[in-house]
Structure 1
């Protein structure tokens, strides 16, 4: 799966109607709503949109016939294996009716062309883990975790016997980090994985 590096736009004219697609990475539903609001032109005839963030998605035909705009935009997002992405396609009517098929091709095609042109980033899945270690091992564990490119230390707190870290670790590096922690503490550190996964 991929997301977008930055905002991308694409314009085309179809039978005198002007279409502008604007796509961007979004972190969640509120960010998607804000992006759509900020990139809709109130002077245009239609501002149709779609977004996907993980299993959540929404789309709108904004006055176009049902199924001719929002859904094709969402299909353009899904067709390019994108996540965390919102797209607004704005239309200025040119006086010629496009028909349902024409609208589907125009909205879906404008969105797809915009997304194809956008610079993409792979989505890295991270697993949130808890690592507990004694004071005797703390300095070495902290140094190794901080230096490892696959590890993001989220929080750290102390207790009576040592410290506990909460860290987000790239999924594909989880076994290596677990082995490293075991090696530097001779198996004394405890690493546990809650059921909830993190994506970033």
Structure 2
């Protein structure tokens, strides 16, 4: 079971120049293909006079969606080197786009591979990499007199609270790491066995 993955926390940029050609690299955290399209469209508008907008992305904790696009460059000379840099840092939910302005001198396939690799690497080196833990959404229903026990659950199981209702009948909604779900279930059952009227729902 996958428990966590690495991604970047915010957008970053890189740059490379070779024989007059400029390679502007942009790395973005993305979660869906719709976000990928939006980022690409934005860059194509901003750099509409560039010859190529080559890119690669990986999506999903299990890296189930992967694509590399050469955008008119020779096959496998742009998208694959960009993708290789994402893979080399073991990242997912990341899009890297390299915008090329042609400088008048052809670089050859090996030159292009190096240029797209180095520019993508520069953008990712300028990014902050973060570890994201997979979580389950939970809901705990409990009487007000069990509030102290629920507060301890929040602390002990690192529950990220999304919403809380404090009334006669209280509700806690939050997220807990997948690795802690089973232990949380066991703790709630232990509390129920000792007289607390807690109900835990894990989505």
TM-score (norm 2): 0.77
1:119 aligns with 2:125: no
Partner SS, residue 14 of structure 2: strand
Within 5 A, what are the aligned runs for 1:138-153? Answer: 139-140=147-148, 142-147=150-155, 150-153=158-161
Alpha-carbon distance in 1 for matches of 2:144, 2:189: 14
Alpha-carbon distance in 2 for matches of 1:151, 1:15: 54
Q: Which runs of 5+ in 1 are unaligned?
A: 195-200
1:62 aligns with 2:71: yes
Deviation of 1:127 (Å)? 3.0
Deviation of 1:137 (Å)? 7.1
Aligned match of 2:59:
53
Partner SS, residue 75 of structure 1: helix
Deviation of 1:56 (Å)? 1.2
Deviation of 1:116 (Å)? 2.2
Contact 1:8/1:24 (8 A) holds in 2: yes
Aligned match of 2:176:
169
Q: Which runs of 5+ in 2 are unaligned?
A: none
Contact 1:72/1:104 (8 A) holds in 2: yes
Q: Note the alpha carbon deviations across 1:28-71, whole angstroms, 9 max, x for none.
A: 11112111222231111111111111111223211111221112
Partner SS, residue 184 of structure 2: helix
Alpha-carbon distance in 2 for matches of 1:61, 1:141: 56
Contact 2:157/2:180 (8 A) holds in 1: no
Deviation of 1:139 (Å)? 3.7
CA-based RMSD of the aligned residues comes to: 2.9
Aligned match of 1:108:
117
Alpha-carbon distance in 1 for matches of 2:157, 2:119: 38
Q: Note the alpha carbon deviations across 1:59-94, whole angstroms, 9 max, x for none.
A: 321111122111221121112111111111011111
- CA distance 1:84–1:140, change in 2 (3 Å): same
Within 5 A, what are the aligned runs for 1:35-46? Answer: 35-40=39-44, 41-46=47-52
